[in-house]
């Protein structure tokens, strides 16, 4: 049977898709990149904002229209929070809430399993995510969150914290590496809280991965900044740990952070970034910022812009605040008018673009390792390979000089073209 997998939203949703892809493959089914070919379509939805929920609803409808003969299975945060509505959507055959995701593959195949297991299910082969056009694997290390930021609906949709064992995660990393994966990303709802329920912690997990696996590159998805201990960045002395972290700030105003119920204030965040950059020169910090949170004055907003510029983020996910039913923030007084929220978002996007350009230009003349991920053709018909530096900046090089996708090469950074660095290959 042919399976098409689709996700909206966070890296954790992608990690879950990759787990399902491997499980479908082990059961003898084929993961396909085109939804029109599929017998079964699985959508992992998002509900982090009202806009994300709307996109999830629209994508369900589009997937059904594109392939009405395929069985459509829907899971994720939107499917969990609005299960009845999703179940009544035209074309949806099965809704699997977040609490039942471990059984999604089995439940989706009920009544559809072939009579015998195909030979391909018993033979080793390349990772299922290569067939999805992916070269970086997301590993789900935990789910759920014990904190309750006032803007966040995900903690409601995902529930309490549940961590996987270190041994299980190490085994998955080794399996992925054996299948040809050179880079893994540790993902979860509250990655920094890993192990709180099993007498473990994130630093211990990282040490185990460095000791018991040979995966060349290890990254993190989003990590809440208040969870990292003083000595955490000493781990980056090992070059297999990539010098980049996504640390969600949300606001550069302490007054706004209090209304958000965030546990990290600006002074703590500044000190954390300083420790990272002292440990590893060129350490890239990226973040999330919400524009127009209830009660955010113009002074608060100017403080945020000034703090963002001071830190010098390599990339910013800019969110326009939108009231999300079920969150405390939706009921807070002093809601900001829509036009002011949008204007602040535009200002943030412009600043983020300038900071990113400055960060890329600062790297010109240096050398780094790049994992080539995929080829592409530009508007002039030229062939390129695209990949990412160790500190997670996009690089492209002429396809004739870079060796091949899914290879790591030493690259000199010689120019900037839009949002990408231009590289010249130095050698294997």
For residue 60, the model assigns a pLDDT of: 93
Query: Which three-class secondary structure state does DSSP give residue 71?
Result: strand
The burial class, CB within 10 Å (0-12 / 13-18 / 19+), for 277 is middle
For residue 119, the model assigns a pLDDT of: 35
Dihedral of the alpha carbons of 311, 317, 318, 319, in degrees to the nearest 10? -130
Which parts of 27-164 are beta strand (E)? Answer: 30-31, 40-45, 71-76, 92-96, 137-140, 142-143, 162-163
Residue located via tokens 């493959």: 25
DSSP 168-228: HHHHHHHHHHHTT--EEEEE-SSGGGTTTTTT--HHHHHHHHHHH---SEEEE-B--GGG-
Distant-in-sequence, close-in-space partners of 257: CB < 8 Å, separation ≥ 6: 250, 251, 264, 265, 266
Query: Are 392 and 359 in contact, with CB atoms under 8 Å apart?
Result: no
Distance in angstroms (rounded) separating the CA atoms of residues 221 and 190: 10
- pLDDT of 118 over the 90 cut: no
For residue 122, the model assigns a pLDDT of: 34
| H helical segments located in 280-337 | 298-311
For residue 397, the model assigns a pLDDT of: 92
Convert the pLDDT of each residue in 330-382 to its tens digit.
999 999 999 999 999 999 999 999 999 999 999 999 999 999 988 888 888 88
Residue located via tokens 């999703």: 86
- pLDDT of 114 over the 80 cut: no
Mean of all residue pLDDT scores within the chain:
90
Query: Which three-class secondary structure state does DSSP give residue 321?
Result: coil
Secondary element (H or E) of residue 397: strand 394-398
Query: Which three-class secondary structure state does DSSP give residue 10?
Result: coil
Beta bridge partners of 412: 367, 424
- pLDDT of 115 over the 50 cut: no
β-strands 394-398, 383-389 pairing: antiparallel
Percent of the chain residues topping a pLDDT of 70: 93
Supply the Cα-derived Rg of the chain in whole angstroms. 22
DSSP 266-280: HHHHHHHHHHHHHHS
Question: In the numeric block, which tokens belong to residue 129?
Answer: 């995510």
Question: In the numeric block, which tokens belong to residue 86?
Answer: 């999703």
For residue 112, the model assigns a pLDDT of: 65
Q: Identify the structural domains of the chain with CATH numbers, from first to last.
A: 2-121 (3.40.50.12160), 133-361 (3.80.30.20), 367-427 (2.40.50.140)
Q: What mean pLDDT is predicted for residues 400-406?
A: 75
The burial class, CB within 10 Å (0-12 / 13-18 / 19+), for 282 is middle
Beta bridge partners of 7: 44
Q: How far is CA 298 from the centre of its chain?
A: 31
Q: Return the biggest CA–CA distance within the chain.
A: 67
pTM value is 0.84
Distance in angstroms (rounded) separating the CA atoms of residues 428 and 426: 7
């Amino acid at each position: 049977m042919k399976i098409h997998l689709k996700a909206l939203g966070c890296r954790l949703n992608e990690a879950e898709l990759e787990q399902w892809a491997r499980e479908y493959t082990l059961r003898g089914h084929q993961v396909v990149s085109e939804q029109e070919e599929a017998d079964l379509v699985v959508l992992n939805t998002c509900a982090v904002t009202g806009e994300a929920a709307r996109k999830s609803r629209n994508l369900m409808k589009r997937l059904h229209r594109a392939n009405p003969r395929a069985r459509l299975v829907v899971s994720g945060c939107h499917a969990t929070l609005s299960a009845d509505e999703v179940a009544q959507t035209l074309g949806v055959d099965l809704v699997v809430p977040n609490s039942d995701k471990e059984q999604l593959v089995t439940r989706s195949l009920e009544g559809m399993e072939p009579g015998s297991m195909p030979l391909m299910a018993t033979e080793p082969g390349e990772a299922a995510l290569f067939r999805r056009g992916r070269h970086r694997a997301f590993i789900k290390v935990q789910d759920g969150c014990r904190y309750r930021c006032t803007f966040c609906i995900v903690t409601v949709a995902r529930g309490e914290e549940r961590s996987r064992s270190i041994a299980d995660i190490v085994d998955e990393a080794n399996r992925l590496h054996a299948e040809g994966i050179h880079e893994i990303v540790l993902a979860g709802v509250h990655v920094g809280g890993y192990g709180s329920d099993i007498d473990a912690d994130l630093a211990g997990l990282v040490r185990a991965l460095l000791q018991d696996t040979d995966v060349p590159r290890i990254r993190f998805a989003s990590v809440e900044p208040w969870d990292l201990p003083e000595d955490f960045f000493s781990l980056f002395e090992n070059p297999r740990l990539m010098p980049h972290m996504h640390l969600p700030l949300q606001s550069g105003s302490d007054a706004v952070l209090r209304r958000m119920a965030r546990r990290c204030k600006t002074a703590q965040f500044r000190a954390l970034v300083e420790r990272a950059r002292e440990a590893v020169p060129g350490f890239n910090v990226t973040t999330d910022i919400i524009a127009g949170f209830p009660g955010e004055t113009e002074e608060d907003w100017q403080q945020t812009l000034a703090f963002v510029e001071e830190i010098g983020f390599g990339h910013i996910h800019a969110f326009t605040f939108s009231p999300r039913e079920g969150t405390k923030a939706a009921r807070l007084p002093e809601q900001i008018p829509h036009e002011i929220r949008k204007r602040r978002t535009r200002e943030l996007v412009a600043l983020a673009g300038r900071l990113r350009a400055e960060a890329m230009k600062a790297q010109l003349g240096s050398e780094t390792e790049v994992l080539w991920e995929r080829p592409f053709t530009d508007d002039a018909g030229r062939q390129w390979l695209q990949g990412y530096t160790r500190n997670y900046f996009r690089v492209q090089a002429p396809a004739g000089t870079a060796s091949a996708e899914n290879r790591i090469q030493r690259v000199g950074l010689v120019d900037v073209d839009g949002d990408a660095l231009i590289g010249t290959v130095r050698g294997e």
